[in-house]
Amino acid sequence: GELDEISAIAEILAEEADAELEEEFYARAEKLSKTIEDYQTFVLLDGEYDAGDAIMTIHAGAGGLDSQDWAEVLCRMYMRWTETRGYAVKVIDELPDQEAGIKSVTFSVSGDYAYGYLKSENGVHRLVRVSPFDAQGRRQTSFASIEVMPEFPDLDEIQLRDEDYEFVPFHSSGAGGQNINKVSSAVRITHKATGIVVTCQTDRSQLQNKETALRMLKAKLMDIKIRERLDTIEQIQGNKNNIEWGSQIRSYVFMPYTLVKDTRTGYEEVDVEAVMNGRLDGFINAYLKYITMDKAK
């Protein structure tokens, strides 16, 4: 119906110039184009867990302060993107550095199709810029690894016994007053068979943090089982914590030119600042089309 009306306006403009009507034509045409694009993308969200929530973890790579700062910049980018979507974000664990940036951060993203959209971000993100930490103003390359997994609705098939993991309480590193400084409310759990480590310090209660950490561990094991196409959880062997490390998916270049390019899809944006402020939909849409075409092959 909207297309018919826009076409009718086009016919009128073809016969007689009208500045006000022309402005309406372009505004409505642009809005319709965006609506069609959104629906085309939405149709591609057909994965088993696409409709649910997501858990994101950002790890700074090798490179010291530059990589830690880059990890924090990426975290801010995703926070701004979630705001545009109206998603709820909860920080589960954060390890800040005393000098600059963050060593790692884990947070949940809740909202319709959060995982479906964010699964495109799984992998290594590369930054090229003039380092703000280099007195000589030299160009540096930094890396950060991003892990995205769904919040699985049912984790009952994963049974964890006390002897399957090592549990270590520790003092929370974030703000929170004297209670957090005095009480070992944060927890670290290491899965003995795989070496997977999860931490949680979002709550004041050690018990709540342990329950959250165990859910995260189960989710990681389930995620590996699915991606490795394994029949049972018991088939998971070795340290799978860095399973995606080394799979560079996107480069962000600030110098000598500005460009953000996805190495998988070829999609790119020259407005780096807009991307860092959360304009990620182009990359997400391109990835969803890319994996759909890959499945078709």
Give the tens place of pLDDT for each residue, 126-149.
999 988 887 777 888 899 999 999
Cα 297 to Cα 278: distance, rounded to the nearest angstrom: 32
Closest CA to 133 of 59, 70, 61: 70
Taking residue 225's Cβ as centre, other Cβ atoms within 10 Å add up to 18
Taking residue 102's Cβ as centre, other Cβ atoms within 10 Å add up to 22
- Is residue 297 within 8 Å of residue 291, measured between CB atoms? no
Lookup: tokens for 231: 């029949």
Amino acid (1-letter code) at residue 78 = Y
Q: What is the dihedral of CA 17, 20, 23, 25, to 10 degrees?
A: -70
Q: Has residue 243 got a pLDDT over 60?
A: no
- Is residue 127 within 8 Å of residue 69, measured between CB atoms? no
The tens digit of pLDDT for each residue in 92-114 reads: 888 888 788 899 999 999 999 99
* CA dist 177 → 58, 102, 172, 174 (Å): 26, 20, 10, 9
The pLDDT value given to residue 53: 94
- What percentage of the chain has pLDDT greater than the value 70? 89
Q: Has residue 260 got a pLDDT over 70?
A: yes
The average confidence (pLDDT) of the chain is: 86
Cα 176 to Cα 68: distance, rounded to the nearest angstrom: 23
Which residue in this structure is represented by tokens 């969200």? 45
Cα 108 to Cα 114: distance, rounded to the nearest angstrom: 10
Cα 29 to Cα 9: distance, rounded to the nearest angstrom: 10
Position 237 confidence tier, pLDDT thresholds 50, 70, 90: low
Beta strand 248-253 pairing with 197-200: unpaired
- Is residue 56 within 8 Å of residue 147, measured between CB atoms? yes
